[in-house]
Each structure stands twice: as structure tokens, then as C-alpha cells.
Amino acid sequence: MDICKIHENASKCSANTMECFMVLSTQAQKISIAMLCGLFGTLCIFENSLVLYLIFSSPGTRRKPSYLFISSLALADILASIIFVCSFVNFHVFNETDFSKETFLLQLGGVNTSFSASLSSLLLTALDRYISISRPSEYKLLMTRKRAWIALGVLWVTCATIASLPLLGWNCCTLDSTCSELFPFVDVNYLSSWVCLIMVLLVCITYAYAHVLWRAHQHVAYMEKHQAQVGKQNTTRMRMDVMLAKTLVMVLTVLVLCWSPVLVLMIYSIFAKLSNDLRKVFAFCSTLCLLNSMVNPIIYALRSKELYSSLRMIFSRFRRQMKASEESPEAESAHKSSMIET
């Protein structure tokens, strides 16, 4: 009897049924997934670590709530890359099934926590820009560092709690309910609830950014019309708000493009049965989430003047050190030659 047929019957929570979810049938598919995960994961960890260093090495950036939210996004992307790549490659490429249900749900909870925190951090960043542009005179009073840290604490605790629900008992094994066709042991009702949560976050982010873009357009029009009457400090601040707003819209665009295929297949799996080909497509589309985490720091470095300036200073310092290390052996050899001649 086909093992995937067993999955639909009483033995649906057996460890042997994990093989049903190993949809990569050829060596070429496994090598492709391994290369994509290795490339995206390595670049994501390096780039987001660099973003965290640039933010916290500069007193001017680490004190701003905007960059605290961006650092939370970078941290979430790092954790997502590490947990996702290790568990995904171990499962789909090496076909490792020597772990318990609890271990698998713990790994899945780590991935869900990281990706949910990444998206929620983007939502906090959108709200931060919304307040900054809609109520600029009250921004410093409303968005303090203390409130920013409290918001980040609530964010991470909430994401971890929601992601831990399958491990705490909301799974198809404990409830003897319908299992998801995309994730082992995951209850289909939990999957639909998680997808709804992600969709709500996307709608809220989209609404906030739509307002930010509208106000940014007004600021640009006002500066062009009243350039002489606007103070230099206010003009600089408006331009920074507009630049950061456009940057975050680019982040949102990349996010939607990378996550749309995964979310569409998740929604489709809730209402219809997936074929093996669609499940393979879902496995490859999952790597787009890593691509999103990899692209975000590139956007920061190119669009944020403060981070870009810090990055240039680091490169300049590195070049000076390399130049000094290259010249020091020559100077030492010249000194030794003069001593010998003497």
C-alpha cells in the first residue's frame, strides 16, 4: 500500500509518513535546492550581520527607533536563514527522518517565529514611518526608545507564542484532525489561521505605506513650491523621511513578490488537494523567502544614507589597513638593508 495513502488513515502521525513530504525525487532537484539554500542563506547571514554591525556601531543610528525596528528585521532574517536552511536541507536533501514529532514541530516553530517576526518588524517600521510623516511635530514624544523596545518585546513574545501552538497541542496528531498536505503533523485549521494572520499583517503594512507615500508626495510637492520659505533643517528631515519611506516601500514590494507564491499555494492546499508537482513547486518557492531576507539589507545599504556612509567608512578603514600591511614589509626590509650596509 502507498505510504501516502497511509497518511490519510489512522497512521497519519507515524514517523514513516514523513517520507510523503519528501517531494524532491531526482538528484538534480536536491542539488538545486541545496545550492539555492546555501547561496541565499550564506549571503543573508553575512548581509544582515553587517546591517546589525552598522546600526549598533554608530551612536546616531542605534538611538533611533526606526533603526531599532530595522535591526529587529535583520535579526529575524538571520535566525530564519539559519533555522530554515538547516532544517529544510536536512529534510528535503538528506531525507533525514530520525527525529520525533516534537523535534520537527520545534524546528517549524523556530522558522515560523523568525519569519513572523520579520514581517511584524516590517509592520512596526511602517507604523513608525506613518507616525513620523503624519504627526512630525509629536513624533519624538510618541516614538521613544523605551516604547520601541517594549513594542519589539511584545512582537517577539507574540510571534513565539503563536508559532509554538502546534508544539503545545494544536496539531493533527493530538486533535486527531485533518493534517496539512504541505507540513507534517500540522493541523489544517492552524495553517489557515496562520495564513490569515500573515494576510492581515500584509494589509496593515500596505495601508500604512499607502498613507506614507501619499504624505511623502505632499512633502515633495510642498518643498518644490515653497523651497525658499522652508528651513534647511526641516527640508533635510523631510527628505530623509521621503527617502526612508521609499526604501521601505521597496522592501515591501520585494516581500510581496517573494511571499505571494508560497501564500497562494498554502491557501490552495486548504481548499483543494495538491499534486506532487505543486508540492515540488512549493518546495522551490519556499527558497524565495530566503531571497527576500537576502535582498532587504542590499536595499538598506543602497537607500539609507546613514548606513551607506558607515559602510563606506568601514571599507575606507579596511583599505588603509591593507595598504599599511603591504607597505610595512617593504619598510622593514629597507631598514634591514640599511643596517647591513652600516
Delimit the domains of the chain by residue range: 25-224+243-310
Q: Higher confidence at residue 237 or residue 140?
A: 140
Q: Does residue 177 register a pLDDT over 50?
A: yes
pLDDT score, position 99: 75
SS3 content of the chain, % helix, strand, coil (to 5): 85, 0, 15
> Count of CB atoms within 10 A of residue 289's CB?
25
Q: Higher confidence at residue 233 or residue 242?
A: 242
14-28, 203-217, 247-261, 284-298, range with the lowest pLDDT? 14-28
Q: Higher confidence at residue 211 or residue 32?
A: 32
Q: Higher confidence at residue 250 or residue 114?
A: 114
Q: What is the dihedral of CA 164, 170, 173, 179, to 10 degrees?
A: -100
Mean pLDDT of all residues in the chain? Answer: 81
CATH architecture of the domain formed by 25-224+243-310:
Up-down Bundle (1.20)
Average pLDDT over residues 179-207: 89
pLDDT score, position 172: 87
pLDDT score, position 10: 37
Residue 231: what are its φ and ψ, rounded to 5°? -65, 155
User: Which of 10-14, 252-256, 289-293 ranks highest by mean pLDDT?
Assistant: 289-293
pLDDT score, position 5: 47
- Confidence category of residue 7, pLDDT binned at 50, 70, 90: very low
Average pLDDT over residues 26-51: 90
Average pLDDT over residues 112-135: 87
For 110, 167, 179, 191, 262, the CA distances from 195, given in Å and listed in that order, are 16, 18, 15, 6, 10
For 69, 120, 191, 280, the CA distances from 209, given in Å and listed in that order, are 16, 14, 27, 34
pTM over 0.95: no
